[in-house]
Structure 1
C-alpha cells in the first residue's frame, strides 16, 4: 500500500507516461489509471490533443494530433504510439506551420541502436555508394529527440534496485515524412510490387549496410508515391540491429517480432540460434499469406471465422505449435486465398513448398541435442545451413518466385542485384 501511495504522488513523466502531452477537455494524465482505461478502448480519444516539445533546431513546436495511426498493445505510456499531426506553433521562423507530419513515440531499450541513427546510416550509405534507388524504399527522418529517465523516476529507481536485471528504456520522439499503409493500395499488382521492393531493400540493408530489420509486420511495410509510381518502404527500425553486433549478445532481453508474423523458431522456447535473416523472409511470407487470406479487399476483413486466427490470439507456445505444424505436417495445398488476392496463389504456394521442405529436412540445432523439443525427431547434420534452411529460404529463392506477378515481370529497383548476390 505504501508503494501505491508513493506512485500516486509521482508526476506522469516520472511514472514513465508521455510528458508534455496536453488534453484540453480531459486532464487524463493526472489519473494514469483512467487514462489507460479510456485509451485502451478508444485510442481516437487522443485526437485533438496537443503535444509540445523542443526540436533539435531549437524551436519549441506545438502539434495537434489529427489521427491515431497505430498503437502497440501494452502498458499505456510504455508502448509505441504513431500519430499524424499538424504543426500549429506560431513561433517566428517555424517553417512547419500548417504541415502534416507523422510522430512516433516509442520506448525502446536504452542499449538498442537508435532508430534514427540506423536509418541515417542506411541513407548515407546509399548516397556514398551510388545506390540511390534505396532512398525510395527507406523512411525519411525529419527530427528525433531522446528523453531519458533519471533516478527520480520509476524506471530510474527500478534500475538502481535491480541493476543489470532491469532493461532500462528511454522515450524517443521521432518526426517522419508521412507514408501510406498497405490498406490504401488499390491494385493487387501494386501490392506485389511493394512486397518485391521490400525483399530488395531488406537484402540491400543486410548485405550492403549490415543492418537486419528483425520486425517485419503488415504495419511496418508502407509505401510512398513518387512520379506517379508506388514504392514499397520498409519502416520502423526500432528493433533493428547491426549484423556484426548480433553475435555479441542480444541488444534486448526480449526476442523481437510481431507474433502473427514471427518465425516459429523465434517462438520456440528452446531456440538458441538467434535472429537469422531468413526469419525476416518467413515474416514476409506470413504477411502476404495473412493479407491474401484474411482480407477480401484492402482494409476490409474477410468473413468470420478468418483463417489463422490462432496466430493472432494464441500464446507464444500455441502460435509456435500451429506454425510448426503448418510447415512440417500440413500438405502443400492451396491456402484459402480471397478472390481479390488470387494472383498471389503462385507466390504463396511456391514459398510455402520451399519453407515446408526446409523445415522438414532440418536437423536438430546443436543447442537442442539432448533436449526434448519439437525438432528432436531429426538427426544431427553439421553442414546444414541454418541461415537459409539449405537455400530454401534465401534471398535468391524468394526473388525467383517474387520477381514476376501473374506472368508479368515486376520492376527490379536494384540494378546490381545480379552481381554477387
Structure 2
C-alpha cells in the first residue's frame, strides 16, 4: 500500500505514462489511479486532450484527440491506445493539412518490448521492397506510416527504469512508441459480402507476399487488424498493425518478448497449447484468418451488428487460454461440426466449410511427440483429457508441421478464396504455387 501511495505522487511522465500528453483541462485525470479507472470505464475521456511532439522532420507539432478508436484492456503488454487526431498547426505548408482543411490521422500509442522490431521499420521495409521489386500492387495493401517516435524510459527518473535496475533480466524492458498513420476503414463499414470476400482474399495475398518476398511474418491477425481503403471506388484489403510482427530470419533466434503473441479469440490451437514448442508458423496466421471469417459470419447478422445472442464461439472471447485451447480442439476434431453462418454472410458457407476441412484434416493427423508433453506416456494413456487424445497417433517423424502434412498452405487457401459465389475475385499477385 505504501508503494501505491508513493506512485500516486509521481507525475504521469515519471510513471512512464504518455509524456507530452496535455491533461491540464482534465484535472481529475492527473491522478494515476483515477486515470486508470476512467480509461477502464470510459476511454473517450481522452477526447479533447492534446499531444505535443517533435516529428522526424524536426517540426514541433500539436494534435488534438477527436475520437478513441481502441484501448487495450491488458495490464501486461503493449497496452495500445489508438485515437483519431487532427493537427492544430496553422502553418500553410503543413503536410498534415489537405487543401486548407485539417486531415484526420490515426495516432497509436503502444508500449512494446524494447527488443521487438519497430512497426514503422517493418512497414518501411515492406513498402521499399514493393517499390524496388516492381511489386507496387502491394502498396495498396500496406498501411502508410506518416511518422513514428520512440521514447525509452530513463534509468533514474522513471519507475520502469528503476524496476529494470532492481530486477535486471527478470524485468522485460519496454519503450513508449507513438506512431502516426493514414486513416483506414474498419471491416464494419463494408456493406457488400463480396467486398468482404475481396478484402479477406487480399489479406491472404499480402500476407503471403510479406512472408515469401520480404521475410516478414505478421503474427497477430485479428478482426481489428484487417482494414481496407478505397481507390477509385474499388476496395483493397489492408493488413494493419505490425507491432507483433517478426523478421522470418530472426525467428529461430528465440522470442523477442516474454509475452504470448496473438489476439486470443483468433489464436491457433498450437499457440494456445501449454506444450507447443514449435514456434510461430505461417499457417498459424492462416488459422487466425479462418477464425476471423468464421466469427464474423456466425456472430454478426449484418456489418457491425452482432447477433442478439452471439453464443457461437463465445468462450473464445471470454475463456482462459486453457479453456479456449480445449474448446478449439473440440471444434476442430468434430467430423459433424456445424457452422452456424448468418444469412447475410451465407456466401461464406462454402469457404468456411472447405477451410475447416483442411485444418481438421491436418490436425487429426498430427503425430504424438512425448518430448512435447509434461506428462509421461503412461500418465497420458490413463488421462481422460480429451484435448490430448488427438495426439495419440503414429509417431511419424516426417510429418510436415509447417503445413500440417500439406493440408494447410497458401496454395490450398487460395484455391478456396480466389472466387466467391462462383465468380472470380481480383488476384493481385500469383504467388508461389508450391506454398
TM over 0.5: yes
SS across alignment from 1:171? strand
Are the structure 2 counterparts of residues 76 and 21 from structure 1 closer, same or farther at C-alpha, using a change threshold of 3 Å? farther
Cα deviations by residue, 1:258-281 (Å, 9 ceiling, x for unpaired): 000000111111111110100000
Q: Which moved more, 1:8-17 or 1:269-278?
A: 8-17
Structure 2-normalised TM-score? Answer: 0.93
The answer to whether the 8 A contact 2:66-2:84 is kept is yes
CA distance in 1, matches of 2:236, 2:280: 27
Are 1:131 and 2:135 matched, yes or no? yes
- Give the TM-score of the pair, scaled to structure 1: 0.96
1:307 Cα offset (Å): 0.8
Deviates more, 1:155-164 or 1:272-281: 155-164
Q: In structure 2, what is the Cα distance between the partners aligned to 1:140 and 1:365?
A: 44
Identify the residue that residue 352 of structure 1 maps to in structure 2.
Answer: 356
Aligned counterparts of 2:374 and 2:2: Cα–Cα separation in 1: 48
- Residue in structure 2 matched with residue 42 of structure 1 by the alignment: 42
Deviant stretches of 4+, over 6 Å: none
SS in 1 for 2:260: coil
Equivalences for 1:18-417 in 2 at 5 Å?
18-23=18-23, 25-75=25-75, 79-90=79-90, 93-97=93-97, 98-151=102-155, 152-328=157-333, 330-365=334-369, 367-368=371-372, 371=375, 372=380, 374=388, 375-414=390-429, 416-417=430-431
* SS of residue in 2 equivalent to 1:341: helix
Provide the alpha-carbon RMSD of the alignment: 1.8
The question of whether the paired residues in 2 share the 8 Å contact of 1:210 and 1:242 is answered with yes
Tell me the CA shift for residue 418 of structure 1.
Answer: 5.5
State the 1:30 CA deviation: 2.2
Which range moves more in the overlay, 82-91 or 144-153? 82-91
Instruction: Measure how far apart 1:49 and its partner are.
Output: 1.4
Query: What is the match of residue 384 of structure 2?
Result: none
In structure 2, distance between residues paired with 1:76 and 1:325: 29
Q: Is the 8 A contact 2:362 2:407 kept in 1?
A: yes
The offset of 1:345, in angstroms, is 0.1
CA distance in 2, matches of 1:121, 1:13: 32
Q: Distance in 2 between matches of 1:75 and 1:90?
A: 38
Aligned with 2:63: secondary structure? strand
Deviation by residue 1:96-133 (Cα, 9 ceiling, x = unmatched): 24221111111110000000000000011111111111
Unaligned runs of 5+ in 2: 381-386
In 2, the alpha carbon distance for the partners of 1:33 and 1:18 equals 15
1:361 aligned counterpart, secondary structure: coil
Unaligned runs of 5+ in 1: none
Q: 1:56 to 1:418 in 2, by over 3 A?
A: closer
Kept in 2, the 8 Å contact 1:261–1:286? The answer is yes
How many Å separate the matches in 2 of 1:359 and 1:65?
Answer: 46
Deviation at 1:419, TM superposition (A): 5.9
Q: Which stretch of structure 1 is more off in the superposition, 403-412 or 80-89?
A: 80-89
- Alpha-carbon contact 2:222-2:292 (below 8 Å) kept: yes
Pairwise CA distance, 1:305: 4.2
- State whether residues 299 and 342 of structure 2, in contact with CA within 8 Å, keep that contact through their aligned partners in structure 1: yes
Distance 1:365 1:13 in 2: 49
Q: Deviations over 1:175-204 (max 9, x none)?
A: 101100000001000000000000000000
Q: What is the CA–CA distance in structure 2 between the aligned matches of 1:35 and 1:10, rounded to whole Å? A: 13
Conserved? CA contact 2:411–2:433, under 8 Å = no
C-alpha contact (below 8 Å) 1:109/1:168 kept by paired residues = yes
The Cα of 1:8 is off from its aligned counterpart by: 2.3
